[in-house]
Chain A
Amino acid sequence: MRIATVQSLKVAAKKARSERESIKTEVLVCAGTGCLANGSLAVVESLERSICSRKLTAELKLGLKTTGCHGFCEKGPLVVIQPKGIFYKGVKPKDVKEIIEKTLISGEVIERLLYRDPNTKERIEEYTEIPFYSRQLRIALRNIGKIDPGSIDDYIAVGGYAGLATALTEMTPEEVIDSITKSGLRGRGGGGFPAGRKWKTCRNAPAETRYVLCNADEGDPGAFMDRSICEGDPHAVIEGMVIGAWAVGANSGSIYVREEYPLAVKHLQLAIDQAREKGFLGDDILGSGFSYDVHIARGGGAFVCGESSALMKSVAGEVGEPRAKYIHSVIRGLHDQPTVLNNVETWANVPWIINEGAEKFATLGTGKSTGTKAFSLVGKVKNTGLVEVPMGITLREIIFEIGGGIIGDRPFKAVQTGGPSGGCLPEDKLDLPVDFDTLTEAGSMMGSGGMIVMDDRTCMVDTARYFLEFLVDESCGKCIPCREGVHQLHCILEDICAGEGQPGDIEKIESLSDVIVSASLCALGKSAPNPILSTLRYFRNEYEAHINDGKCAAGVCRNLFSFEISEEACVGCGLCIKACPVDSILGEKKEVHRINGKTCTRCGACRNICAVDAIKVV
């Protein structure tokens, strides 16, 4: 039913809240992509069946919900039981019976399903006390894991669309823009441009038609913040966009979603349909006379379409090639009209700022980087997952306190931020505060929020080669410095990794990078050399070892090392023999094993599985 006025929204919110409150115990099962892949759907089905067949819903006032990503993907499937906040990890369908009988009926906690702190070895009952969660501050991710993303009533119950009501009835568009400006909100997609200034420019640009778009083409490999928001709290994005549209005076727009994210597309489409039905999208929103509607544009799987001008071409049904931006897209964007484009996380922050006040947002974080930032913490870190922290927190706190440190307690080597346009920072930069400007100064960038942790078994030359390969593939080919220059950089790196590097290669890389940075048309090209330049800045010795000594100490570049089993360390357990896909390891049980160097393909399966670290790189 349509919610036509602010008053009826209040009534609807009250009703939805009281329905929520009537539920005494709520079972929340994570159905984010990570948990789904780990089999959370089977857990949900099993829970549903058991709860129905035993008629527990009425008896225990029980509610079962599938939610968006809880963030702690490493430990999925995750089940949270509210109001106590009991946190079960790695739940299998066979655990369901025990959860129902012990926890739901008798109120007991099942020890073995609790999270165990790897440092203190203690089991932790409530999720708010797990270090992974307790250090976080969630604004953009505020509702994810708490609400059913498929239910608009659930969103309204937690205060959804109240920000929109405030903006439409109590604020003028200028006041909304002032509020966003005061909050200091900067674009979370990578550029970090102040959102308030962008909106103001768009509003002041003379035009009949304006557009408000959302960039959900999260292309950085190793980043999945925006996907989780679209999947777990799609209404927050839509509400933010309608507020933005009111502020700049736009009546239509699109959400440009990556086609590799089918679940995000599904949840966004469902949310749009529900919002239209309730009247939060369409004509005369909440009786204000203001109209705005939004459509989904599916991306075609091109990284460059994350760039604003390319994205707008793609939305208009053309090939997504960027253009020179003498005139910015806020003045001349989609269909040559003034256009505001912000990414998913930026939009999700907007309703919170209107509800809680710009001042509150501005007090979080550091001077020029206010609020919080969501990161996907991945790579060689113990607690992989999605985290949101106040700006200004150090890299060390994120990686070692929230992330729990490096897998297998191996030595930390580098952390990569900013995706293919970013860079790698070494250990002595771990105490840098995470904000837009500090990371850029250090040679990396905030980017959209991918944070990839690397240990001593990651080769920095290979990492740079990897990003260049990605960019060669994704360069649209319009301008020569990017199309040819990045290709040449990649050729040089391929040679170095193959053991065919020449003295002088490093200097060649540096001068070529200089040209690419200065002469490329768009940000993809201009930032393409960053992965090389930052690794050269901090790990030049690795490049030199590859070229001059023909060595890859990390054991990644296969022509530049071989594996050997340390006689002192090997316990003869046979694990490596089993793991070797080419049967190149020989040895009797409890005797030292040996690797046949002639047939070994250096895939590293033995090194990954060895429990006593006996496989050495020579």
Chain B
Amino acid sequence: MTKTCVDPKKARKILDRYPSGDGTSLIHALQDIQAEFGYVPCEAAELLCEHLSVPISKAFSAATFYKAFSLEPKGDVVIRVCTGTACHIRGAQTLVDELCSILNVAPGKTTKDLKFTLETVNCVGACAMAPVVSLNGEYHGNVQPGTMSKKIRGGK
């Protein structure tokens, strides 16, 4: 987990929604933390575990098991390449490879300047427009090799 400055007040506010000592709220609380900070900061997880009386290993286990959680901060632009089956057979892998080489990061990682995060997603259900890439939630359909790179370069 990355150590960064986290506003403890914001974290406290989330914790107060859950009764102390109630370990069953762990995942819901983690979801709230993820929504608030865009990732699960180490300090927030520590505060949460103390509050719920669960070992920090449990938070780590849940945060690494579910894809919804990230232990690292995300970039300003989150690029998600859909790699569902329909997108795969229409060339999603080529797009992933291309974005990896342009941004010089592996899927799931963020560029050092915190500008871009490259992710793959199993299916966004927009199979009719395959292959699909979303930039901060905005969908781009029928993406051909070479066209996406220009968009990213433009923003860089």
Contacts and interface: CB of A to CB of B under 8 A. Distances in A.
Interface of A: 33-34, 36-38, 73-74, 76, 218-224, 227-228, 259-261, 298-303, 314, 316-320, 376, 378-380, 384-385, 416, 419, 450, 452, 454, 458, 463, 466-467, 470, 476, 579-581, 603-605, 608-609
A383 B9 CA distance: 52
A580 B86 contact: no
B65 A452 contact: no
18 contacts: A33-B124, A34-B126, A37-B129, A221-B85, A221-B122, A222-B127, A260-B121, A300-B62, A317-B24, A378-B85, A419-B85, A452-B85, A470-B122, A579-B145, A603-B98, A603-B145, A608-B91, A609-B144
Contacts of B27: 300, 314, 317-318
Interface of B: 23-28, 31, 61-62, 65-69, 83-86, 88-91, 94, 98, 121-130, 132, 139, 141, 144-146, 149
Given A317-B28, A416-B85, A37 B126 contact: yes
A228 B124 CA distance: 12
A419 to B, nearest CB: 8
Contact of A302 (B26, B67, B84): B67
A463 B86 CA distance: 11
A470 B23 CA distance: 31
A262 to B, nearest CB: 9
A543 B144 CA distance: 28
Given A38-B141, A224-B126, A379-B130, 15 more contacts: A36-B139, A73-B128, A221-B88, A223-B125, A224-B127, A227-B125, A260-B122, A299-B66, A314-B27, A317-B23, A319-B62, A319-B66, A452-B89, A466-B88, A581-B146
Nearest to B92: A466
Closest 4 CB pairs of A and B: A300-B66, A581-B146, A301-B67, A224-B125
B128 A384 contact: yes
Contacts of B125: 33-34, 218, 223-224, 227-228, 260-261, 376
Nearest to B130: A378
A458 B144 CA distance: 17
Contact of B123 (A38, A222, A320): A222
B122 A463 contact: no
Contacts of A34: 125-126, 128-129
A314 B98 CA distance: 36
A581 to B, nearest CB: 3
A319 to B, nearest CB: 5
Contact of A450 (B61, B65, B85): B85
B67 A300 contact: yes
Given A34-B129, A378-B127, A378-B128, A608 B144 contact: yes
A581 B91 CA distance: 14
Contact of A579 (B24, B84, B121, B146): B146
A37 B139 contact: yes
Query: Among the interface residues B121, B132, B144, which one has the most CB atoms of the partner chain A within 10 A?
Result: B144
Nearest to A263: B125
Contacts of A416: 85
Given A259-B68, A604-B91, A604-B94, A581 B145 contact: yes
Contacts of B144: 579, 605, 608-609
B147 to A, nearest CB: 8
Contacts of B83: 221
A303 B65 CA distance: 11
A74 B126 CA distance: 10
Contacts of A604: 91, 94, 145
Contacts of B94: 603-605
A300 B84 CA distance: 18
Contacts of A380: 89-90
A260 B134 CA distance: 12
A458 B89 contact: yes
Nearest to A477: B65
A603 B84 CA distance: 18
A4 B31 CA distance: 37
Give the interface centre of B65, B69, B84, B132 by most chain A CB atoms within 10 Å: B65
Contacts of B67: 300-302
Nearest to B30: A300
A275 B143 CA distance: 41
Nearest to B144: A605
B86 A452 contact: yes
Contacts of A260: 121-125
Contacts of B65: 300, 302, 319-320, 476
A320 B65 CA distance: 8
Among the interface residues B26, B67, B122, which one has the most CB atoms of the partner chain A within 10 A? B122
Contacts of A470: 122
A463 B128 contact: no
Contacts of A581: 98, 145-146, 149
A319 B149 CA distance: 37
A37 B132 CA distance: 10
Contacts of B23: 317
Contact of B145 (A300, A314, A316, A605): A605
Given A222-B84, A224-B127, A317-B28, A301 B68 contact: yes
A376 B123 CA distance: 12
Most buried by A among B67, B69, B83, B88: B88
A303 B26 CA distance: 20
Given A603-B94, A603-B145, A379 B85 contact: yes
Most buried by B among A303, A314, A320, A379: A379
A27 B129 CA distance: 24
A229 to B, nearest CB: 12
Nearest to B80: A260
Q: Tell me which of A221, A317, A581 has the highest count of chain B C-beta atoms within 10 A of its own C-beta.
A: A221
Given A37-B141, A38-B141, A300 B123 contact: no
A372 to B, nearest CB: 20
B48 to A, nearest CB: 13
Counting chain B CB atoms within 10 Å of each CB, the highest count among A34, A380, A385, A604 belongs to A34
Contacts of A316: 24
Contacts of A219: 122
B127 A73 contact: yes
A307 B18 CA distance: 28
A218 B123 CA distance: 10
A154 to B, nearest CB: 24
Contacts of B145: 579, 581, 603-605
B26 A317 contact: yes
Contact of A222 (B28, B85, B91): B85
Contacts of A384: 86, 127-128, 130
Contacts of B139: 36-37
A259 B128 CA distance: 21
